[in-house]
Chain A
Amino acid sequence: MSVLFYIFSAVMLVFGLMVVLNRNPVSSALSLVVSFLGLAALFITLNAYFIGVIQVLVYTGAVMVLFIFIIMLLDIKTEQRRELNYVAMGCGIIVVLALVSQLAILLGDFVPGNQQLATLPEEAAVHQDVKLVGEAVFTNFNFHLQLLGILLLVATIGVVVLSRRQGRADRSQE
């Protein structure tokens, strides 16, 4: 269990770094896919099976396919050859190191964080998770679920409008 935690967090962090370091956008996107798979495995080590499956389905399945589709649609290979912006790089590294050191100091003093992960009883661990999340979603959070549906509808309409209006403007310019 502990070994799996370290393996999956190492996979997640190394491929997360590859997203930032790769010059080619397609390699970045594929690294992000692997990073999200590691994150889904971490969700499953936390007994959040439903969230882990949703992470794989929505993020690595739908969202990353959309990203790769857009990268290939725009064909942005030429963007690779640019000189680096050293000011932005230096500032980025300083800010991130400050963030990480502050977090490490904060977590060093966080006493409730020292508790170890305890093993759940078998029936509560595996068979009940999706059922209980589903019950919570469809009873207490029913209104929020309807709102979410409206949000997704509005987003879909917005995407269609955004892509259509530009096309019409292009045609009128020609």
Chain B
Amino acid sequence: MPSLNEYLMVSGLLFAIGFAGVLMRRNIIIIFMCLEMMLSAANLTLVAFWRFGGGNGMPADGYEAQVLVFFVIAVAAAEVAVGLAIIVALFRARCTVHVEDLNSMKG
């Protein structure tokens, strides 16, 4: 059976892949997708800690962790809607989704 450390490592790797995407890609939509990936990796960590929270591989007593993950997913859905609306407004104003072209705030 897999151990808690393996779940934590897998979610850490998913977070690292998302982080690499945010740092390396220049397309703002891909950056946003990588942000979603990092958020989901944090969710996986939460659920893994809940599942192992009772000790000896048994879950914790309450269901607060799953409620928290549920709230995080709902807030992420709202955030995606607003973020994509901002990206569409940005594209209409500047005709680009390439972050290196969006440097009008640069001093």
Contacts and interface: CB of A to CB of B under 8 A. Distances in A.
Interface in B14-34: 14-21, 23-27, 29-30, 32-34
Interface string A102-127: 01100100101111111110000000
Counting contact residues on chain A (CB < 8 A from B), the size range is 35 or more
Contact of B27 (A76, A93, A148, A155): A76
- Among B14, B24, B36, the one with the most A-chain Cβ atoms within 10 Å of its Cβ is B24
B54 to A, nearest CB: 9
B73 A74 contact: no
Interface of A: 1-2, 5-6, 9, 12-13, 16-17, 19-20, 25, 28-29, 32, 35-36, 39, 42-43, 45-48, 50-51, 54-55, 58-59, 62-63, 66-67, 70-71, 73-74, 76, 79, 82, 85, 88-89, 91-93, 95-96, 99-100, 103-104, 107, 110, 112-120, 132-133, 135-137, 140-141, 144, 148, 151-152, 155-156, 158-159, 162-163, 166, 170
Interface of B: 1-10, 12-21, 23-27, 29-30, 32-34, 36-37, 40, 43-44, 47-48, 50-52, 55-59, 62-64, 66-67, 69-71, 73-82, 84-89, 91-93, 96-98, 100
